[in-house]
Each structure stands twice: as C-alpha cells, then as structure tokens.
C-alpha cells in the first residue's frame, strides 16, 4: 500500500528540517513526502530544496500564499496532490521515531482512522533535540528524568500492546493522524470555514464518525516528539466552537467548503 506523508508547516524551517531528516531515516520509507506550507517565507523553500535531490521518497512543496490561518485549505491541497492510498498527517514540528511509518501502516485498518500519540519536548530542550535523540532510549530516559520531555510513557515502544477502538473526541490531534484517502474524500476533506486556530481537527473527526468510521489508537507505537512552541490561541475560537457544534449536531458528514472547492 502506498503511503503519503503530509507535513504541515508555517515559518518553522529549523523544525521542518529535523522532521524531514527523520522521515528519510524510517525503517519503512514513505512513498512520498508533501510539505503543506501555509505561506511560509523563503527559508522554508530553502530547507525543502536541501532534500529534493533524493530519488526516494519524492519530496514535494505544496504552498499557498500567506493570507492568514488557512490550515484546512493547505491540507486539502496536499491531499489532492497525494498519490498514496493511505495518508499520514504530521506537523512540521513533530519529529517521528524511525518506526513511525511502519507502525502507522501496520495499524491501518479499513473502517478506522488512526490517532497517533506525541511526547512533548520542553522549551529548554527543543532547539537541541533532533532525530538522533529519538533513537536512544537511554538519552530519552535521561531527558524524561530531567523534566525536559513529558508524556513520558510514550517513549517506550511496545508492539504487542493492544489497540483501543472507540468514538471519543478527546485527544484529537491532527499533528499525528492516519487515514485512507478515500475516507477523506468521502467527507470532503477539511473544512475551509476555519480561518483561525482551534477545533478544525475535531470538526474533521466528528464528520469521520458521522461517515461511519471509528478511531483506533495505540499508546506505544507511531509516536512523534512535539517540539515546544508558543501556544497559538485562535482569534475566532467562538466561531470555531460553533462550527464543531454544527458538525456534531448534523446528520451529514460532508462539509460545504472543502476538497471539492479545489477541484
């Protein structure tokens, strides 16, 4: 099964470089990497150019002009360009472990989307932390004990631990999520009505549930390390909350403004 990684980014070139390096060191390489860029400056283009000489996996830059927060739209543009049957969504400041893609694919299952987990890298460590740190359990444990990594239980990989299957909304995080492309297309992708941070991932998941999918998750596989950044508080959170409530109350699973607007 072909897999496409969609890496969302906005003006964090140093973090993006770390994420791309990690994706080129996977035990199972993705078939392609698409950087979904919501209007970053030229430094992001320069980072991507560093890696585009690699023959495999192919690396694409899917960019739109900076017109404010349009995360849903740039995600949808990357979805349309993606050739993979299975899509993995990853934030450009989340460094995946070397088993990340292999775990996602092993856990992929028809009728489900997969919600991945993250360990949090604190401000004191974020600038120095990179993919090499994720390969050493001793190094990770040292950082956990020093208080520089939280959500520490995720640093242990336990493949035989059972998955959970549910329809809960809590813990929805688009920074690490996997789904079949045909399911994304069925719900018309992400909702373009979101023009500020907050609840866009939950609204998407609400519609996946309406479509009939369930959520699958595993606490010890497909883990990424989320580098610290200042909290992005949305300016339209009330509007976004209302959009989520509408999705939860509706009988339909397709948003009005989504993938179809870009075709």
Specify the CATH number for the domain of residue 47.
3.90.550.10
Strands lying side by side in the sheet with 223-227? 94-96, 223-227, 117-121, 149-150
Average pLDDT, the chain: 95
Cβ atoms of residues 65 and 149 within 8 Å: no
Average pLDDT over residues 248-254: 95
Q: Indicate if the pLDDT at residue 91 is higher than 80.
A: yes
- Domain around 220: 3-262
Q: Indicate if the pLDDT at residue 30 is higher than 80.
A: yes
Alpha helices (runs of H) in the chain, residue ranges in sequence order: 13-23, 42-51, 71-81, 100-107, 123-126, 131-134, 137-145, 181-186, 200-211, 237-249
Per the rule left: phi > 0, alpha: psi between -120 and 50, beta: everything else, 246 is: alpha
- The per-residue pLDDT for 252 is 95
Name the residue with higher pLDDT: 197 or 99.
99
Task: Please state, in angstroms and rounded to a whole number, the distance separating the CA atoms of residues 147 and 141.
Answer: 10
Average pLDDT over residues 31-42: 98
Q: Indicate if the pLDDT at residue 236 is higher than 70.
A: no
The total domain count for the chain is 1
- 3-state DSSP assignment of residue 113: strand
What are the two backbone dihedrals, phi and then psi, of residue 176, each rounded to the nearest 5 degrees? -155, 95
- The per-residue pLDDT for 215 is 98
Quick check: bond before 87 cis, omega within 30? Answer: no
């Amino acid at each position: 099964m072909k897999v496409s990684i969609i890496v969302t980014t906005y003006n964090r070139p140093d973090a993006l470089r770390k994420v791309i390096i990690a994706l080129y060191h996977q035990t199972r390489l993705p078939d392609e990497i698409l950087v979904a860029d919501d209007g970053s400056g030229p430094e992001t283009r320069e980072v991507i150019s560093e890696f585009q000489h690699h023959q495999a996996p192919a690396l694409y830059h899917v960019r739109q002009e900076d017109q404010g927060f349009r995360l849903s739209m740039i995600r949808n543009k990357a979805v349309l360009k993606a050739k993979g049957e299975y899509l993995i969504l990853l934030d450009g400041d989340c460094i995946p472990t070397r088993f990340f893609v292999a775990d996602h694919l092993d856990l992929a299952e028809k009728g489900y989307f997969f919600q991945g987990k993250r360990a949090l890298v604190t401000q004191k460590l974020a600038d120095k932390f990179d993919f090499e740190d994720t390969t050493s359990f001793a190094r990770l444990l040292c950082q956990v004990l020093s208080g520089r990594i939280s959500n520490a239980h995720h640093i242990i990989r336990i493949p035989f631990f059972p998955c959970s299957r549910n329809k809960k909304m809590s813990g929805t995080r688009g920074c690490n999520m996997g789904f079949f492309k045909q399911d994304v297309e069925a719900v018309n992708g992400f909702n373009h009505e979101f023009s500020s941070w907050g609840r866009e991932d939950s609204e998407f998941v609400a519609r996946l549930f309406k479509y009939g999918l369930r959520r699958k998750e595993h606490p010890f596989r497909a883990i990424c390390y989320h580098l610290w950044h200042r909290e992005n508080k949305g300016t339209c959170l009330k509007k976004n909350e209302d959009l989520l409530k509408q999705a939860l109350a509706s009988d339909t699973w397709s948003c009005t403004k989504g993938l179809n607007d870009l075709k």
